[in-house]
């Protein structure tokens, strides 16, 4: 048992509800031993939020040749070069500067086209990052002119009050916000939607999410981590 849900059960449940959906195991704050354990059980994609932690874990697990690191933390322009060197994907681009930097630095690193999602602040919450929904179309248009980028779609962290107990667990359809995000994703890049975490992944899958990011339900509570 890796966390509060058995990995194999969760993996199979996700595929039953939404075949082909990606599962990113959010390993922020988790020791490399737990990541290795999950890898040996079949998981390949892991999400990290902090650059230094990402670099340390990638170095410690360098023997796992097909492990794939996805950056899902707050994106700082001055750290994009370090992220691109280690990660296989960035899901949190939210500005023209981010897109231009990723395209250029991925080219310099020989990792093009580099997969990118535009992060959307789904409910315009001051405490969260991400672009406004109205800014996604012009950002996507810019991305289309940058050969160093492969724009996958959008990523969103919705309000905390949306959870499976209120929707999927209660036999209801997904909220309007999730359906709007699905529609926005359809018109962005390759049309992918990264939506859904431990508390709302079933609701997100019902709305048509192509990627869920789950940490606590797999790993349990996390330890302190480096934030640099």
d(CA 204, CA 189) in angstroms, rounded, equals 20
Summarize pLDDT for 143-190 with one digit per residue, the tens.
999 999 999 999 998 888 999 999 998 899 999 999 999 999 999 999
d(CA 162, CA 98) in angstroms, rounded, equals 29
Query: What are the b/e assignments for 15-51, b being 16+ CB within 10 Å?
Result: eebbeebbbbbbbbbbebebbbebbeeebebbbbbbb
> For the purposes of burial, counting CB atoms within 10 Å of the CB of 52, is it exposed (0-12), middle (13-18) or buried (19 or more)?
middle
d(CA 213, CA 23) in angstroms, rounded, equals 6
Query: What confidence score (pLDDT) does residue 204 get?
Result: 97
Q: Is the pLDDT of residue 142 over 90?
A: yes
What is the pLDDT averaged over residues 1-14?
79
The number of beta carbons lying within 10 Å of the beta carbon of residue 66 is 6
The band of 124, judged by pLDDT with boundaries at 50, 70 and 90, is: confident
- What tokens were used for 91? 């899901």
Query: What are the b/e assignments for 181-190, b being 16+ CB within 10 Å?
Result: bbebbeebbe
Residue ranges and CATH numbers for the domains of the chain are 7-219 (3.20.20.10)
Q: How many CA atoms within 13 Å lie on the side-chain side of 216?
A: 7
Summarize pLDDT for 44-91 with one digit per residue, the tens.
999 999 999 999 999 999 999 999 999 999 999 999 999 999 999 999
- Give the mean pLDDT of the chain: 94
* Cβ atoms of residues 130 and 156 within 8 Å: yes
Q: What pTM, to 2 d.p., does this model score?
A: 0.94
The band of 223, judged by pLDDT with boundaries at 50, 70 and 90, is: low
Q: Is the pLDDT of residue 3 over 50?
A: no
The band of 228, judged by pLDDT with boundaries at 50, 70 and 90, is: low
């Amino acid at each position: 048992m890796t966390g509060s849900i058995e990995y194999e059960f969760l993996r199979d449940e996700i595929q039953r509800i939404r075949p082909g959906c990606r599962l990113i195991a959010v390993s922020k704050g988790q020791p490399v031993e737990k990541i290795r354990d999950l890898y040996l059980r079949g998981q390949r994609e892991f999400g990290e939020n902090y650059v230094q932690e990402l670099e340390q874990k990638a170095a410690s697990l360098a023997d796992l040749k097909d492990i794939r690191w996805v950056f899902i933390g707050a994106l700082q322009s001055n750290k994009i070069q370090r992220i691109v060197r280690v990660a296989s994907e960035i899901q949190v681009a939210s500005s023209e500067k981010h897109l231009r930097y990723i395209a250029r630095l991925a080219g310099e690193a020989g990792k093009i086209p580099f997969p990118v999602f535009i992060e959307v602040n789904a409910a315009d919450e001051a405490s969260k990052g991400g672009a406004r929904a109205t800014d996604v179309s012009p950002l996507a248009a810019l991305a289309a002119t940058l050969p160093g980028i492969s724009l996958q779609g959008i990523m969103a962290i919705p309000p905390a009050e949306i959870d499976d107990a209120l929707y999927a667990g209660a036999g209801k359809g997904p909220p309007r916000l999730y359906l709007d995000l699905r529609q926005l994703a359809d018109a962005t890049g390759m049309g992918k939607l990264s939506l859904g975490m431990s508390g709302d992944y079933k609701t997100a899958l019902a709305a048509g999410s192509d990627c869920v990011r789950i940490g606590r339900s797999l790993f349990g509570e996390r330890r302190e981590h480096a934030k640099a």
